[in-house]
Amino acid sequence: MANLRFIVVEEAFKKKALEVEAPKGRPSEYFAKYVFNREKMFKYLPLDVYNKLRDVIDNGAPLELSVADQVAAGMKKWAIEMGVTHCTHWFQPLTEGTAEKHDAFVEHDGKGGMIEEFSGKELVQQEPDASSFPSGGIRSTFEARGYSAWDPASPVFIVDDTLMIPTIFISYTGEALDYKAPLKKAIAAVDKAATAVCQYFNPDVKKVHANLGWEQEYFLVDEGLYAARPDLLLTGRTLMGHDSAKNQQMEDHYFGAIPTRVAAFMKDLEIQALELGIPCKTRHNEVAPNQFEIAPIFEECSLAVDHNMLLMSLMRKVARKHGFRCLLHEKPFKGINGSGKHCNWSLSTDTGILLHAPGKDENADLRFITFIVETLMGVYRHNGLLKASIITASNQHRLGANEAPPAIISSFLGAQVSKVLDEIEKSDAGEFASLKGKTKMSLDIPQIPDLRIDTTDRNRTSPFAFTGNRFEFRAVGSQANPAAAMLVLNTAVAEALTDFKTRVDELISKGTDKNAAILTILRQDIKTCKPIHFEGNGYSEEWKQEAQKRGLDCETSCPVIFDNYLKPESIKMFESMHVLKKNELIARNDIKWETFTKKIQIEARVFGDLALNHIIPVATRYQSTLIDNVHKISTTFPADEAAKLNVDNINIIKKISKHTSFIIENVQKMVDARKVANKVEDQRQKAVLYHDTVMPYLDSIRYHIDKLELIVEDEMWTLPKYRELLFIR
Ligand code: ADP
Ligand code: MG
């Protein structure tokens, strides 16, 4: 009898690529087909309503209910033409995904029938039952109300038969229960602070946008094989499995030809993403086998976050259509690269990117340096917090491993920018005084006028690298909501810019020339934030030692890293920038600890079950066949000959016993450790116990299971092996 593993492997081999039918026309014609964008607003709304809505979107004007009613009417008309029957508020709770609650468009018509109904009130605000979403105790269970409120800046879109309305999600008393609400506040804070600083250089600047361009990495696995791996199914990663003899040593997967089954999936995904208004641009293989990446053109930060969340759910859906499962977990396979979501971040005005090396214009040069230095100041002051914003139970497996940024935040700038900062730092205040009355800066910062950033000047070991016109935050995990990292980054930069402006203004008020004042403060800040600036190899052992000396946050325990959110300087930053209040931070941390505990708890349970129900029985069965063989040899041959013939088998029998008894004994110890941890009430303490006393068993037991995989007869092994999960198309 062939075992399940052999059947699913054979099936996976037989699968052919699906034919994907491309929509008629060019991408430019079907782009945003399912989005109620400006073009559709213009078509479906009366002109005055259209103009009012634009004012809401562009300038944050309040939305009156009468306008909302008319907007809803226009939306309904469009949606019904598109075959839509339901609508839902779509929001980003503090779990990993998105949430929605569908309501049909129907109402009683008062004459015994039904009419399609969708009012401005339904568009603007709903009250989903919030009790099933994590709130960290802000909302006690008997007060189940939470409000979702439309975010007009993020366009409404259609998925299948449903009109999706992007919203924020807040408690009855106004605390954020989601990612979007604080992200929008952080973006507003950085806009305010950056606009004020920009006005030193150009008084016409009225608005600064935060941008985000993410690069989404993922793995694909055949769905039959996936279904035969309970660990993948229930935890998103393989909790056991020996390395494949071939994995990524040859690095032949990166930029290699995309296999046809995968190419069909990618094509389908891109078409559907474009129809939803997600501006996908690049796709390629990644370093690990079966690993890929998709990246769009960058967008305004909050919209980019929505699009990333939407794309991740689309990826899961489209993958299933093609007979795959899409793995978004940061480390689905041990020993090969994990997946990240590089978040390319920049600030821009209507006139261009603020982090772009400008070249000829000295005024812009100084502005460029200002934004680089103050970004570093934000990252330096809050390096521990930034790490807290990206660390999770799953991403902790990726950070610090050899392919990912280390669990220490530092920033790489490249040779040219580093040199300019050095020059500024070394030049003395006397020189700046001589600037008085002059507009030309080039004498004082000689490198800038022909500063051309070489984009090949890259350091892939840096978690926060300057790449020519943006910073690339590489530590973000592949399945994370990027808003978590973006809200901290934007707030930190907002605080740094605000603080910068206060100090510059003070010098100006004492009679210092504006440019001299700016340079004086920049000089101080370049010195202050020096510890965060690191051009070397972020993977090296020496860097860990060095970072410790520099006072950077080097903590590696995930639940302890979360403490950064509650440090006085973090609370001060969030409160002064009006992004999150202390009670919200406390509640959100409880959710983080609880989520961490639950993840490890589930992993430990699945792991224990697999060890006892799959691994031990299979290993024992194989051991019995060997024992049978030993008996048969003993009865067939004379004793001394039999003894010789049995030497190898007896050794293997003993080895199996050694491994199985370790496994059985330690699974029990792991269960005991869990019981102790479960009794603890305090969420932080419980998470720390799970981290310190439960998690280590997953590794120590796994070692013995992976050894057994090498010993036990291939045909008996029930779980698909790495070589099958990773190389089948
Ligand atoms: P790489 O893999 O070399 O880092 P990719 O081309 O895969 O580069 O991805 C680059 C990402 O950076 C894309 O998502 C792109 O939209 C984004 N990006 C480019 N310029 C900016 C910018 N100024 N601000 C924010 N994101 C940007
Ligand atoms: Mg990148």
What the block records as the tokens of 372 is 């680089």
282 lines ligand 1 (CB under 6 A): yes
- What is the whole-number distance in angstroms between the Cα of residue 368 and the centre of ligand 1? 19
Query: Minimal CA–CA distance to 374: which of 509, 492, 213?
Result: 492
N- to C-terminal Cα separation, the chain: 25
298 lines ligand 1 (CB under 6 A): yes
Query: Nearest residue CA, atom 13 of ligand 1?
Result: 213
Share of the chain above pLDDT 90, in %: 67
Q: What is the mean pLDDT of residues 11-22?
A: 88
374 pLDDT exceeds 90? yes
- C-alpha–C-alpha distance, residues 657 and 655, integer Å: 5
- What is the whole-number distance in angstroms between the Cα of residue 472 and the centre of ligand 2? 7
Q: What is the pLDDT of residue 138?
A: 66
211 lines ligand 1 (CB under 6 A): yes
Q: What is the pLDDT of residue 260?
A: 87
442 pLDDT exceeds 70? no
670 pLDDT exceeds 70? yes
Place 703 in a pLDDT band, splitting at 50, 70 and 90.
Answer: very high
Q: What is the mean pLDDT of residues 616-629?
A: 97
Q: What is the mean pLDDT of residues 280-305?
A: 89
- C-alpha–C-alpha distance, residues 729 and 727, integer Å: 6
Burial environment of residue 402 by CB neighbours within 10 A (0 to 12, 13 to 18, 19 or more) = exposed
184 pLDDT exceeds 90? yes
Express each pLDDT in 516-533 by its tens digit: 999 999 999 999 999 999
Q: Which of 187, 215, 356, 464 most suits a substitution to test ligand 1, by most atoms within 8 Å of the C-beta?
A: 215
- C-alpha–C-alpha distance, residues 453 and 430, integer Å: 29
- Spatial neighbors of 74 by CB under 8 A, at least 6 apart, are 41, 44, 45, 46, 49
Q: Distance of alpha carbon 202 from its chain centroid, rounded?
A: 35
Express each pLDDT in 476-486 by its tens digit: 999 999 999 99
Calculate the alpha carbon distances from 256 to 182, 291, 332, 402, 557 in Å.
41, 11, 21, 22, 37
Least confident of 25-29, 130-134, 431-435: 431-435
516 lines ligand 1 (CB under 6 A): no
Q: What is the pLDDT of residue 318?
A: 97
- What is the whole-number distance in angstroms between the Cα of residue 212 and the centre of ligand 1? 8
Instruction: Please identify, by atom number, the ligand 1 atom nearest to the C-alpha of residue 295.
Output: 14
With beta carbons less than 8 A apart as the criterion, state whether 446 and 62 touch. Answer: no
- C-alpha–C-alpha distance, residues 221 and 715, integer Å: 21
295 lines ligand 1 (CB under 6 A): yes
340 lines ligand 1 (CB under 6 A): no
Q: What is the mean pLDDT of residues 578-605?
A: 96
With beta carbons less than 8 A apart as the criterion, state whether 285 and 291 touch. Answer: yes
Least confident of 212-221, 240-249, 323-332, 353-362: 353-362
Ligand nearest to the CA of 468: 1
Instruction: Please identify, by atom number, the ligand 1 atom nearest to the C-alpha of residue 455.
Output: 3
- What is the whole-number distance in angstroms between the Cα of residue 37 and the centre of ligand 1? 24
Place 470 in a pLDDT band, splitting at 50, 70 and 90.
Answer: very high
481 lines ligand 1 (CB under 6 A): no
- C-alpha–C-alpha distance, residues 308 and 208, integer Å: 22
Q: Helix or strand or coil: residue 18?
A: coil
Q: Which residue has the higher pLDDT, 673 or 360?
A: 673
261 pLDDT exceeds 50? yes
Q: What is the mean pLDDT of residues 216-231?
A: 95
217 lines ligand 1 (CB under 6 A): no
445 pLDDT exceeds 60? no
Give bridge partners of residue 411 from the DSSP assignment.
464, 533
DSSP one-letter code for 21? P
Q: What is the mean pLDDT of residues 196-206?
A: 93
Q: What is the mean pLDDT of the chain?
A: 89
105 pLDDT exceeds 90? no
434 lines ligand 1 (CB under 6 A): no
Q: What is the pLDDT of residue 3?
A: 83
* Coarse DSSP helix, strand, coil percentages of the chain, rounded to the nearest 5 percent: 55, 15, 35
- What is the whole-number distance in angstroms between the Cα of residue 411 and the centre of ligand 2? 15
490 pLDDT exceeds 80? yes
Q: What is the pLDDT of residue 447?
A: 34
Q: What is the pLDDT of residue 353?
A: 78
132 pLDDT exceeds 80? no
Least confident of 31-40, 344-353, 709-718: 344-353
Q: What is the mean pLDDT of residues 497-507?
A: 98
- What is the whole-number distance in angstroms between the Cα of residue 296 and the centre of ligand 1? 8
- What is the whole-number distance in angstroms between the Cα of residue 340 and the centre of ligand 1? 14
456 pLDDT exceeds 50? no
Q: What is the mean pLDDT of residues 236-247?
A: 88
